[in-house]
C-alpha cells in the first residue's frame, strides 16, 4: 500500500484561474457580504430602531458598495470576452459542442464516486455560474435604478430628480433624499409606481442570491473533499492539482 506522501507526490499543479478572475472572486465576495449586511439592516430598520437619517446613511453606504460591486461585475463580464481560455464565456456557460454529453458523463462519474477532473468549471459548476451571474447582474441593474429613485444617485438619479420636480430649478436645488418637500406630488407618486417592480425584483433576487451562495459553498466544499484537487486554494494561488491530467487541459502543467 502506497503512503500518503507517495500518492501526493504524483499530484501535478496546473494553472486554473488567472489573476483577474481571482481578484474578481474575492472583491465580489467582500461586496456581496457587505451588501447583504446593509440590505438586511435596511429591510429590518424598524426592528433595529434605525432613525430616518440612519436609514439614509445605510442606503448611501449600500449604494457606494453597490458601485464597487457593479464595476467589478462589469469588468468580469468584459473579461469573459478578452480573458484567458477558462475565463471566457465558452468555459463559463452551459453552451458549446459536447456540453450535454460532458454533463452526462460528469453526473455519471459523480454518481459512481469518480467524477472526471476539470481544470476549469465542471459541467455542473457551469450551471451554477450561469445562475449566479444572472442574479448578480439583476441585482446590479435594479440596484442602480433604486439608487436613483431612493437617493437621486447616478447613473439615473438626475433623470429621476427631473421627473419628481417637473424640472423646476428651485425644487431641484432643494431636493433631498427622504424628503417630499421639494417634489411634485403627482410626479412623485408616478415615480414610486415605476420604482415598485424594481424593488420587488431586487428583493427577491437578494433572497435567491443567498440560496445560490449557500448551494455554491456546499458544492465547493463537497467537491474539495471528494476530488482533493485544491479547488478552494485555487482561488488564491490560481492552481489546481491532479493525479491525472484534467480532461479540459488547455495549458501545460505549471512548472513552478
| CATH classification of the domain holding 168 | 1.20.950.20
What number is the average pLDDT over the span 199-217? 96
Which of 37-48 are b and which e, b meaning 16 or more Cβ less than 10 Å from the residue's Cβ?
ebbebbeebeee
Least confident of 64-73, 110-119, 180-189: 110-119
Q: Cβ(242)–Cβ(11) under 8 Å? A: yes
Residue 226 lies in a domain: yes
Phi/psi of residue 95, each to 5°? -135, 175
The share of the chain scoring above pLDDT 70, in percent, equals 94
Residue 220 lies in a domain: yes
Q: How far is CA 251 from CA 85, 148, 245, in A?
A: 9, 45, 11
What number is the average pLDDT over the span 61-84? 97
Q: Where are the alpha helices (DSSP H) in the chain?
A: 4-9, 19-43, 52-82, 89-92, 99-112, 123-151, 157-165, 169-174, 185-227, 234-237
User: What's the grid cell of residue 107?
Assistant: 453526473
Q: What local confidence, expressed as pLDDT, does residue 147 receive?
A: 97
pLDDT band at 9 (very low <50, low <70, confident <90, very high): low
Residue 83 lies in a domain: yes
Q: Higher model confidence: residue 113 or residue 235? A: 235
Burial of 111 (0-12, 13-18, 19+ CB in 10 A): exposed
What number is the average pLDDT over the span 133-142? 98
Residue 5 lies in a domain: no
Number of domains in the chain: 1
Q: In the 8-state DSSP scheme, what is residue 232?
A: T
Per this entry, what is the length of the chain?
A: 256
Least confident of 15-24, 65-74, 107-116: 107-116
Averaged pLDDT score across all residues of the chain: 90
Q: How far is CA 33 from CA 36, 118, 213, in A?
A: 5, 28, 11
What number is the average pLDDT over the span 85-107? 92
Residue 6 lies in a domain: no
Residue 3 lies in a domain: no
Q: How far is Cα 85 from Cα 18, in angstroms, rounded to an integer?
A: 9
Q: What local confidence, expressed as pLDDT, does residue 1 receive?
A: 40
Q: How far is Cα 85 from Cα 118, in angstroms, rounded to an integer?
A: 13
Q: Cβ(41)–Cβ(55) under 8 Å? A: no
Containing structural domain, residue 32: 16-242
pLDDT band at 244 (very low <50, low <70, confident <90, very high): confident
- Alpha-carbon torsion angle 32, 221, 129, 109, nearest 10: -170
Peptide bond into 109 cis (omega under 30): no
Q: What local confidence, expressed as pLDDT, does residue 163 receive?
A: 97
User: What's the grid cell of residue 59?
Assistant: 442606503
The share of the chain scoring above pLDDT 90, in percent, equals 73
pLDDT band at 135 (very low <50, low <70, confident <90, very high): very high
Q: What local confidence, expressed as pLDDT, does residue 7 receive?
A: 44
Residue 252 lies in a domain: no
Amino acid at each position: 500500500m502506497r503512503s500518503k506522501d507517495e500518492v501526493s507526490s504524483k499530484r501535478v499543479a496546473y494553472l486554473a484561474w488567472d489573476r483577474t478572475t481571482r481578484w474578481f472572486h474575492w472583491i465580489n465576495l467582500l461586496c456581496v457580504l457587505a451588501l447583504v449586511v446593509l440590505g438586511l439592516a435596511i429591510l429590518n430598520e424598524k426592528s433595529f430602531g434605525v432613525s430616518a437619517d440612519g436609514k439614509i446613511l445605510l442606503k448611501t453606504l449600500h449604494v457606494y458598495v453597490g458601485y464597487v460591486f457593479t464595476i467589478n461585475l462589469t469588468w468580469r463580464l468584459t473579461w469573459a470576452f478578452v480573458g484567458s481560455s477558462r475565463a471566457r464565456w465558452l468555459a463559463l456557460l452551459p453552451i458549446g459542442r459536447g456540453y450535454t454529453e460532458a454533463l452526462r458523463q460528469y453526473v455519471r462519474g459523480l454518481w459512481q464516486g469518480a467524477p472526471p477532473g476539470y481544470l476549469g468549471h465542471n459541467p455542473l459548476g457551469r450551471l451554477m455560474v450561469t445562475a449566479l451571474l444572472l442574479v448578480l447582474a439583476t441585482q446590479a441593474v435594479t440596484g442602480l435604478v433604486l439608487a436613483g429613485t431612493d437617493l437621486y444617485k447616478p447613473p439615473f438619479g438626475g433623470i429621476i430628480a427631473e421627473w419628481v420636480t417637473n424640472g423646476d430649478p428651485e425644487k431641484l436645488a432643494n431636493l433631498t433624499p427622504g424628503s417630499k418637500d421639494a417634489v411634485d406630488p403627482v410626479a412623485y407618486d408616478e415615480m414610486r409606481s415605476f420604482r415598485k417592480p424594481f424593488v420587488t425584483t431586487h428583493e427577491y433576487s437578494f433572497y435567491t442570491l443567498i440560496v445560490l451562495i449557500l448551494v455554491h459553498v456546499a458544492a465547493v466544499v463537497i467537491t474539495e473533499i471528494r476530488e482533493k484537487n485544491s479547488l478552494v486554494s485555487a482561488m488564491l494561488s490560481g492552481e489546481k492539482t491532479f493525479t491525472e491530467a484534467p480532461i479540459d487541459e488547455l495549458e501545460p502543467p505549471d512548472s513552478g
